[in-house]
Amino acid sequence: MAGSVRLGQALGVGLALCVALTAAARAEPAAKDLFSAERAPSAAAPQSIGFYSKGCLAGGMEMPKDGPTWQVMKPSRDRAYAHPAMIALLQRLSVDARREANWRGLLFGDMAQPRGGPMKDGHASHQIGLDADIYLTEMPNRRLSDDERDNMPLPSVIDKRTRHIDERRWRPEMMKLIRTAAREPEVERIFVHPGIKEKLCKTAGRDRAWLNKVRPMYGHDYHFHVRMVCQPGSPNCEPQESTGKGDGCDKLDWWFDVALQPPPPNAKPYKKPPPIFLSALPRACAAVLKQPDAATTRVAAPARAAAPPPPAPAMADGFDAGAPMALAPEPAPAARPAMAAPVPPAAVPDDGRLPMPRFRPGG
């Protein structure tokens, strides 16, 4: 009898503890609400904390809204912050793309929130200031208004019916642009739609080492996602596993045969994962939220050091003015780590060019 009483008491205590923990979890705000409420980076040394999809950013910096070879899109999202090394990489890439891919300028999408962390919508990663989206739409020949940056249609390069590349929208310059980014030593991965990866595999030519960094992923049909390696001074940054060897072009069948196919009629509906709470993030992230605001957050566009190459020809459309934009002087490329010269790529046919796409197809 006494044993039964003790058992009942233990069960009661366990039930009460379970109820208390559940109530505490419900009372704790989701990490996405805490980090999305921050409006300025923290006044601290730059540091990426945790993993790309579970962490935060201390001492972040904001990408200038406009530069000689870039414009920042979606200003209402307030996601143009990153580790200073990522800011420098993106600015350098915008210059290289103009020279190596004949790309007038880059349109930057989401990077990170002022202090990183989980976002309310749109991304599982982009949390530690080392991820950035770059649109496969060339910068117009004029400065866009904030309203245009928030609402400008962005074209998919994937045919919705076949899930392969839409040849009417794809341009050889897009391959050159992604290749330019992948060749950066500090770029760890680049995510693209499987159809884009397939197209790159078909047109890369003999220089294929850079394809190893280009990884197929759901979505990413109108932009590509650049991921940077963990930076010095970030001891709590968790690196991603190696991409292994090979170009990855022999591993695309699953994507088209299984992953991109419509779900079967009896499939269970998708259930969103539960929100991440601050207690689930690295401990340092709680301290990042408490740090004072940084006084200055932007990195000024670098000054001109050499005469820029001629800009790419202007292409008139709904977002281009009638004449080419007078671009600011182009910054000189930053010094790079010493590395072996890449093997010259095979020539890519540039015949039959179509105008650069500007609009996302209807629907």
The pTM of the full predicted model, rounded to 2 decimals, is: 0.78
Q: Which mean pLDDT values do the consecutive 10-residue runs of the chain (363 residues) have?
A: 52 49 63 96 98 97 97 97 98 96 96 96 91 97 96 95 96 97 97 98 95 96 97 97 94 94 87 91 97 73 41 41 39 40 30 32 32
pLDDT of residue 3: 52
pLDDT of residue 362: 32
pLDDT of residue 119: 94
From 306, 320, 339, 324, select the one nearest 95 (Cα to Cα): 306
Instruction: Sketch the domain layout of the chain as residue ranges.
Output: 45-260+273-290
pLDDT of residue 2: 53
pLDDT of residue 6: 56
CATH architecture of 45-260+273-290: 2-Layer Sandwich (3.30)
pLDDT of residue 9: 55
- Sequence-ordered list of residues with C-beta below 8 angstroms from that of 346, at least 6 positions apart, any chain: 204, 205, 206, 207
End-to-end alpha carbon distance in the chain: 69
Instruction: Report whether 237 contacts 50 (CB < 8 A).
Output: yes
Q: Which amino acid is at 59?
A: G
What single DSSP character describes residue 281? S
What single DSSP character describes residue 258? I
Measured between alpha carbons, how far is 123 from 223 in angstroms, rounded to an integer?
14
- Sequence-ordered list of residues with C-beta below 8 angstroms from that of 347, at least 6 positions apart, any chain: 205
